[in-house]
Amino acid sequence: MRKKKDLEEKRNMQLEFESELLKTQIEVQEQTMQTIASDLHDNIGQLLSLTALTLSSINLEEPQKLDKKISESIDLVNSSIKELRGLAKLMNGEFIVQTGLGKAIKQEIDRLKKIGTYKIKVKNELLDFEISSPNKDLIVLRLLQEIINNIIKHAQASHIEIEVFIINDLLNLIVKDNGIGFDYEAAKTKNKGIGLSSIHNRIKMIDGKINIQSKQNNGTITKIEIPYP
């Protein structure tokens, strides 16, 4: 009976992990689609509108301005093509498995840079890292997305530092901001809409540890440590 109970508990734990993993995959895909929608509307849409405006302003009776406006239009079209290529990479649902965690993290940071609101300092030592753990990688990526979204929504920060590296078979992810901070213990108890419960659950699923240091008006430091042999 004890053996049967142990097997049942293991089976339930595996089902819970698979369920959480599926939820994480869906959330990563939703985040990706939000990024694509935002870029199409705010960036590519604007570039194409400027292209149309430039072309419509061409006056064949002013040949001295013709070359300049055509050149500007070509530059705008080339910028649009470049942006579309970037979106095509994001639309590949398996990009994290194919490109590795380091490059997936770089894509998230590039997305953050596009906002233009923050001074960003990055140390990403996983860009050329060949070993991967797809399930863990997906969860780590989602954790980073949640932390970044919390900073955007709540922190009122101007500087963000992101550091990721592996040492002694441990993956370390450190995110710092200079925002307004928050009362971590109170937020952990009440879970005031910043997803702390979800973050802690996911860390626990992959046997990781998390340490959040935050003081009001003194920024936040989030340190995550995950076994990654």
Q: Where are the domains of the chain?
A: 1-93, 100-227
Q: List the structure tokens of 1.
A: 């009976």
Spans in the chain with pLDDT lower than 70: 31-32, 34-35, 38-39, 41-42, 86, 89-98, 190-194
User: Domain 100-227 maps to which CATH number in 3.60.15.10, 1.10.287.110, 3.30.565.10, 3.40.120.10?
Assistant: 3.30.565.10
pLDDT in tens, 18-64: 777 777 777 777 766 766 776 676 678 878 888 888 888 888 778 77
Kindly report the backbone phi and psi dihedral angles of residue 171, in degrees, each rounded to the nearest multiple of 5, phi listed first. Answer: -85, 125
Note the pTM of the prediction, 2 decimals. 0.68
- Collapsed DSSP state (helix, strand, coil) of residue 165: strand
- With CA atoms as reference, report the closest residue to 162 among 124, 125, 131, 199: 124
Per-residue pLDDT at 96: 59
> Rounded to an integer, what distance in angstroms lies between the CA atom of residue 183 and that of residue 218?
11
Kindly report the backbone phi and psi dihedral angles of residue 167, in degrees, each rounded to the nearest multiple of 5, phi listed first. Answer: -145, 135
